[in-house]
Structure 1
Amino acid sequence: MLVHGFGKTHTGLRRKNNQDSFAVVENGAHALMGIVCDGIGGGNGGDVASKMAVRHMQDSFKAFDISKKTDVEIKQWLLNTIKEANDLVYTEASSNPKLHGMGTTMVGVIQCEDAAYIFNAGDSRTYGLYEDDFICLTEDHSYVADLLKKGEVSEEEARNHPNRNVLTNAVGVWDNIRIDVNKINKDYRCLLICSDGLHGYVSETMIRRILESDFSLEKKVDLLIQAALDAGGFDNVSVILIEKEDAA
């Protein structure tokens, strides 16, 4: 299956530096990986953490012969590789006082010849646009998401909650990490991978409208980032779109 991925990141209008990192990479087996990491931590910590995590995932993916691998083997590779990224960031944060407490969210997609997988730690997200549906495919690992799941707050209260940015899971913050890895329905029209600089400020209605437009993949990415800037540009924003080439 031929797929095309394209991504961009923007510092936004209120931050001095961009702690997001992303990559769109194809390996020797013609599998595609898109990954977004949103760094957390004071000073340069978040920037360092997100870059370390993306670089590790990218290098490992390029070296991974994914062809003829089973679902179980691919999922296990993802779990192991993300755990390695967690260990790398956690060790660096523990050994360097200037980087203490740094970490990063991680969200991504791997599209193989005949299957698609998503992985997630934190509150960056992957959305899927299908023929008659637009859904968030990942689950936020955050304090507010837990409250929402328990029915203790409404969707509206969750959006405006003072602790909505408090994470319960991230890469590199703790020596143990929760990793969500799932195989998804590959009959999508488009997959969106993004940091909360997009989904935290732009409505899903507007996001869906842009994804369903007839513009090119690159133009849609630009429009999504512009929508985040028009909403105030309060945070760094990163966007990757993946489409099947025959769907363009």
Structure 2
Amino acid sequence: MATRVVDAAGIEHAKAQRGARIVSLVPSLTELLFALKLDAQIVGRTGFCVHPHDKVRNVPKVGGTKAVKIDAVRALQPTHLLVNIDENERDTVDRLRAFVPHVVVTHPLAPHDNFALYALLGAIFDREDEARELSLQLRSQLDACASRAWPQQNVLYAIWREPWMTVARDTYIAAMLHLVNWQTLPDLQGGERGAARYPSFDLDAAWIRNADRVLLSSEPYRFTQRHAEALSRHARFQGKRIELIDGEMVSWYGSRAIDGIAYLRDYASR
């Protein structure tokens, strides 16, 4: 009997047949596919799928994570499409589902969810051994993080400006930061009292006074030292610790989470 696994949408997937053709619409997942040694089966990716640099350059682009070129995907004749609930628009995925036989939906919300993600793709694409090795590496990093008592700090993690935007506490980013006992501000859960998972905020917001650190991410908005210096002159932020942080290391799941946790441990130790 064929092995069947269930994705984040509750859809069961049988093991892929030999010669599966995979299009990934998620940067983290594209990198994970290469880590699972599926190079020969990756036939399409978005322009934001930039890792690993030396390998993705040979994979055709099909637009962005949201601005997907439907006809470009169709021309590649994929058997499998990898998507994410946060990063890809449902209407676009539904259009692609009309001609892609297998759409695999993902939605990791915490570093520990990567165990299930590795197992999911490993089972579908016959890479169980590679998935187990990634799980061992992830477990090692999580254990190293948990072995230390981290002082609690409140952090404002900025992902965008004009409008300024941050992350709710039920996002993957917030869960990563929680590994080093950093609590994101404001204290919101996505959907709570109508709150967004990536809420906008005003620089004069009263809760900013409670932030111990202000982290300016390198993605999706590329904050620079110039932005940090300008923010430090704002009345609400004077005297606060304002730093740049590698957004890929904090927000990318999949295989990147392994190096991301190590990066965060080192970053929080400064």
How does the TM-score come out when normalised to structure 1?
A: 0.29
Q: Say which structure is richer in strand.
A: 1
How does the TM-score come out when normalised to structure 2?
A: 0.27
Query: Greater relative contact order (Cα 8 A, min sep 6): structure 1 or 2?
Result: 1
Select the structure of larger CA radius of gyration: 2
